A and B are shown apart, each in its own frame.
Chain A
Amino acid sequence: MKKILLLLVAASLFWAGPVFSSDTIRIGLMCPLTGSWASEGQDMRRIVELLADEINEQGGILGKTVEVVVADDGGDPRTAATAAQRLVQRDVVGVIGTYGSSITEASQNIYAATGTLQIANGSTSVRLSEKGLPYFFRTCPRDDEQGRVAVETMLADGHDKIAILHDSTTYARGLADEARALIDASAAEVVFFDALTPGEQDYTTILTQIRGNNPDVVFFTGYYPEAGMLLRQKLEMGLDTPFIGGDANNNPDLVKIAGARAGAGFRFLSPPVPGDLPSPEAKAFLDAYNEAYGQAPGSIWAVLAGDGFRVLAKAIEETGSTDTDTIADYLKNGLSEFPGLTGTIDFDDKGDRIGDVYRVYEVDDEGRFVLQM
């Protein structure tokens, strides 16, 4: 019986209702604090809380203190749906997050149904903003943006016989299809389009096939372990066609697998790593983050959550309102060239970010990733 009583007491704490107060502005943050993406989530929380503290030190928004309400989505759709209900009930003005596309998708309908603004930071799936949800925004680029930048880069280098290699995963296949459609529409042609099997040790067969088609450049849309093997075996075979990879290659292990000699000259697309962020706002932010936590933020996706917070704060400030429709309208039509941490920010009618986020990186002779433009 004692145990049951204890449980009841614990349960009653849990049901305690939200406390409303009018001198704070609540902004929700939905992030994976637990689960396999926990490091992303921790970073997101640190960044958003740091930015909120900065705003509060300067007097808050519209004279009110900003309170960040954090909910853990666990990197799992079910937990995310509950987290979304929790944030909505806490009466937040808007929600920042989250990282995974399917996690965002599970929460999207709840925010849409309750008229809550959502600014996702790492969900790149094209579908999310194609549903016509009026209050959905994201600070990250879409998957099709990457295909566009990749093709533009290859065409700008004057390549016109292009080989595309993917690994049959949804992400890689989607990127490959995207690139193929764009190349077909241009003057260049796709001379090779096929998949390799991830996780194997020997890719010389597929490299020989590629050589037979004599392409100017190979676009590999898969992940870094296979890219590393391909680069090493390409060097062993004496194949000197340049390779370019997608953003799943932005991992230092790439060079460990390939070796510095084989890796040199490989290029890949990626949003800039935090250390390479271009704007003066970014510099100031990185310094503040370093001072607060003694290290640099690990990934670009968490910094994009910071950008989500900053545009939301800006919108509330500018419109003088916490009404969802007013803010959404301002973000779509009023906001122009906002100086974000990751470059200038504008949103189109779907709530997608306009402007270039992807950059080209090249591996140098010592295996470092160097920003190209």
Chain B
Amino acid sequence: MTVAARKIKKPLYAVIAACWLAAPFFLGNYQLDVLNNIAIYALLGLSLNIILGYAGMFHMGHGAFFAVGAYTTAVINTTWGVPVLWLLPLSGVAAGLFALVVAKPIIHLRGDYLLIVTIGMVEIVRIALVNNVFGITGGSNGIFGIDAPSLFGRTISGIVAPGDYFYLVTAFLAFTITVFYLLEHSRFGRALQFLNQDPVAAEGSGIDTARYRLAAFGIGAFWAGMVGNLYASKITFISPESFSFWESVVMFMIVILGGAGSIPGVLLGAFLIIGLPELFQGLQQYRLLLFGIVLVAMMIFRPQGILPPAPRSYGVAEDDGENGGQNSAQDGASGGEVRP
């Protein structure tokens, strides 16, 4: 990365963030609803990024954790009337526990084998929901009448006032980006990236790879569960169709297309994958055709994703940012870990 590109990066991010925050003053409800969807999928992409991006595990069943969170919220809220925002952590915990239980036996699987098992998992969850498991999921009819979130006595309805909801989801997105940025640069984040690059070397360096992988699943699922809570309270109605295998594929695409392991990449991926089909609405039934063509073209010209993670750089001397960045690309990331 050139110095010029790095210099332009920070102002660019600031401009994008400012535009994003100002959006409700200029846009109608429809456009805001699209932005809300983009934010929700950005959150899902970020949570999947922990598993798929950092730890490099091919996981195409993320919709299952999303569903567990959403259904936890829906069932508890409609049965006992607990306010939905209180259920935010609980939905995350439910999804996280579910992930730990199902991921434990499959965590040692590699690459495409894991992919197949996770596809099976998301289908099992969907079918269980359709079959009204435990008699609480409402079967194929789903659950309706979920409350909108309310904060300080003010109801934030994603239906009536997408602008209000926009700030709720943006706040959560900002929180998530901060946490995940810190995570990426923490010992834990570096360990995940290390075991992604070279599991044997990571194991040899004292990283309990199985435990770290499982933890990645747990955190990713915990976050997806919380997003499920936000989604359920936005749309106020959930049914198994909302958690089809396709949803998991969409999340997978967001991460891979944007740039696995890169937070800005995932955000851009969400913008493209969720935003583009809406841009093409005028084309009606051909919109997904064009969308597919765009995806294929992007994969041909940028197989590493649009914004892949920049190589890690560690300043050796005060004034030498660039050289260090060039040389210590991968070793830098792992080197930081093995040093006692």
Question: Which residues from chain A sit less than 8 Å from chain B, CB to CB?
Answer: 10-11, 13-15, 17-18, 33-34, 38, 41-42, 45, 70-72, 75-78, 81-82, 85-86, 88-89, 100-103, 105-106, 108-110, 113-114, 125, 127, 168-171
Contacts and interface: CB of A to CB of B under 8 A. Distances in A.
Interface in B284-332: 284-285, 287-288
Interface string B202-229: 0000000000000000000000000000
B142 interface: yes
Contact of B242 (A78, A88, A110): A78
A72 B29 contact: no
A81 B235 contact: yes
Nearest to A83: B281
Contacts of B241: 75-77, 100, 102-103
Given A34-B285, A76-B241, A77-B241, A89 B30 contact: yes
Nearest to B140: A170
A264 to B, nearest CB: 33
B136 interface: no
5 contacts: A14-B279, A15-B27, A109-B236, A125-B141, A127-B144
Given A14-B275, A78-B37, A85-B29, 4 more contacts: A14-B278, A71-B281, A105-B239, A169-B130
Contacts of A103: 241
B160 A170 contact: no
Nearest to A100: B241
Contacts of B285: 33-34, 38, 41-42, 72
Contact of B281 (A41, A72, A78): A72
Query: Mostly helix, strand, loop or mixed at chain A's interface?
Result: helix
A85 B141 CA distance: 22
B28 interface: yes
A82 B237 contact: no
Contacts of B287: 33-34, 72
Interface of B: 26-31, 33-34, 37, 130-132, 139-142, 144, 157, 159-160, 162, 231, 235-239, 241-242, 244, 246, 275, 278-279, 281, 284-285, 287-288
A76 B247 CA distance: 10
A105 B144 contact: yes
Nearest to A4: B12
A109 B237 CA distance: 9
B238 A77 contact: yes
B237 A77 contact: yes
A102 B160 contact: no
Contacts of B242: 76-78
B12 to A, nearest CB: 8
Contacts of A169: 130, 140
Contacts of B239: 77, 102, 105-106
A105 to B, nearest CB: 5
Give me the 10 closest cross-chain CB pairs, A-B, nearest first.
A170-B139, A102-B239, A33-B285, A85-B30, A89-B30, A85-B33, A86-B30, A170-B140, A113-B160, A14-B279
A170 B159 contact: no
Given A10-B279, A106-B237, A113 B159 contact: yes
A44 to B, nearest CB: 12
Nearest to A76: B241
A127 B30 contact: no
Given A77-B239, A78-B235, A82-B278, A34 B288 contact: yes
A91 to B, nearest CB: 11
A278 B286 CA distance: 35
Contacts of B288: 34
Given A113-B160, A127-B141, A72 B284 contact: yes
B30 A14 contact: no
A170 B162 contact: no
A89 B29 contact: yes
B31 A105 contact: no
A136 to B, nearest CB: 13
Contacts of B28: 17-18, 89
A18 B131 CA distance: 43
B131 A82 contact: no
B175 to A, nearest CB: 23
A75 B247 CA distance: 13
Contact of B141 (A41, A42, A82, A101): A101
Contacts of B278: 14, 82
Contacts of A72: 281, 284-285, 287
Contacts of B279: 10-11, 13-14
Which of A10, A78, A103, A113 counts the most chain B CB atoms within 10 A?
A78
Contacts of A110: 159
A101 B138 CA distance: 13
A170 B129 CA distance: 11
A18 B28 CA distance: 10
A32 to B, nearest CB: 10
B131 A168 contact: yes
A328 B240 CA distance: 32
A171 B130 CA distance: 11
